[in-house]
């Protein structure tokens, strides 16, 4: 009884494969539309919200060797403890650290400087692995902060010369070719209409492309059920580029995030998202 059925299934798959090759372009657009539907449905109840909740708790509670909360000590650029709208206005320049920082880097800075955590401990495992049940605390904190910029416009303060300088560096990095394949970010993300397998590659130097590159981060990845930040995305692209992965919370990653987020200025941020 079983054998014929399996054979039948194999035949079906083979002929589907051929059909797919012939109409790859059409199928690609269709798959994209299907995923958009799925995302619209899921955004209504995005598991990312669970991490917003966890992050809120972590933000408010007194923690670390100094036993202070981030809510009473951490300035994300709009005043101590103020999270509303902070995410879409970062990266920005912070005088107390004398550096331009993206949201994740700033929260790490607060955890170290204000709460007394050790950077090395946070950097040991900054992103959720496929086998981890939960993301690290920093990811939940970033997700909480990002959730408080939902439906607000990206407004990276590019008029600030310090931010503009980092933006220029970010732009330079996207053009920098090196490594075994002589890749730069722009090899994959520097022109319109490129894709790898079924994944569209946003052209991050344009406004539209940058919007695609920043929207939905931090995001809940359906594959494996993991919560990941924009910093993770950068690290993973360096891996795809066959570069060494940057040090956690590095200048390089902030520069790239400054470049892309500022290019997306004016677009409405939809909040923590869903990724495939």
* 44 contact, one of ligand HEC, other proteins, none, CB 5-8 Å limit per kind: other proteins
Minimum distance from residue 6 beta carbon to other proteins (Å): 22
Angstrom CA distances, 164 to 118, 143, 168, 184, stand at 30, 26, 6, 21
Minimum distance from residue 45 beta carbon to other proteins (Å): 4
Please count the residues of this chain forming the interface with other proteins, following the rule CB under 8 A.
Answer: 15
Near other proteins in 16-35, by CB under 8 A: none
Nearer to ligand HEC, 70 or 88 (CB): 88
* 249 contact, one of other proteins, ligand HEC, none, CB 5-8 Å limit per kind: none
Tokens coding 126:
């900054």
Q: Respond yes or no: is residue 237 known to be catalytic.
A: yes
Cis peptide bond prior to 218, omega within 30° of 0 = yes
Nearer to other proteins, 25 or 44 (CB): 44
| Interface contacts to ligand HEC, rule CB under 6 A | 174, 183, 185, 187-189, 196, 199, 201-202, 204, 212-213, 216, 233-234, 237-238, 240-241, 256, 260
The residues that touch other proteins, with contacts defined as CB under 8 A, are 42, 44-47, 49-50, 53-54, 129, 131, 133-134, 220, 225
């Amino acid at each position: 009884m079983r054998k014929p059925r399996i054979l039948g299934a194999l035949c079906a798959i083979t002929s589907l494969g051929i059909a797919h090759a012939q109409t790859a372009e059409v199928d690609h657009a269709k798959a994209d539309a299907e995923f958009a539907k799925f995302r619209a449905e899921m955004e209504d109840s995005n598991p990312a919200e669970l991490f917003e909740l966890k992050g809120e708790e972590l933000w408010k509670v007194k923690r670390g060797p100094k036993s202070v909360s981030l809510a009473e000590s951490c300035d994300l650029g709009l005043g101590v403890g103020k999270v509303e709208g902070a995410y879409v206005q970062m990266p920005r320049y912070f005088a107390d650290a004398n550096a331009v920082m993206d949201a994740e880097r700033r929260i790490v800075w607060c955890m170290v400087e204000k709460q007394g955590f050790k950077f090395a401990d946070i950097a040991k495992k900054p992103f959720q692995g496929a086998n981890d049940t939960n993301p690290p605390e920093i990811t939940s904190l970033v997700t909480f902060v990002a959730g408080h910029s939902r439906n607000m416009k990206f407004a990276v303060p590019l008029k600030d010369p310090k931010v503009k300088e980092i933006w220029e560096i970010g732009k330079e990095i996207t053009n920098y070719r090196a490594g075994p394949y002589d890749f730069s970010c722009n090899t994959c993300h520097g022109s319109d209409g490129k894709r790898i397998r079924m994944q569209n590659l946003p052209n991050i130097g344009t406004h539209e492309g940058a919007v695609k590159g920043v929207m939905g981060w931090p995001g809940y990845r359906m594959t494996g059920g993991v919560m990941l930040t924009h910093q993770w995305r950068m690290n993973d692209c360096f891996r795809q580029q066959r570069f060494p992965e940057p040090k956690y919370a590095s200048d390089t990653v902030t520069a790239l995030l400054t470049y892309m987020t500022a290019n997306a200025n004016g677009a409405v941020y939809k909040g923590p998202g869903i990724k495939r």
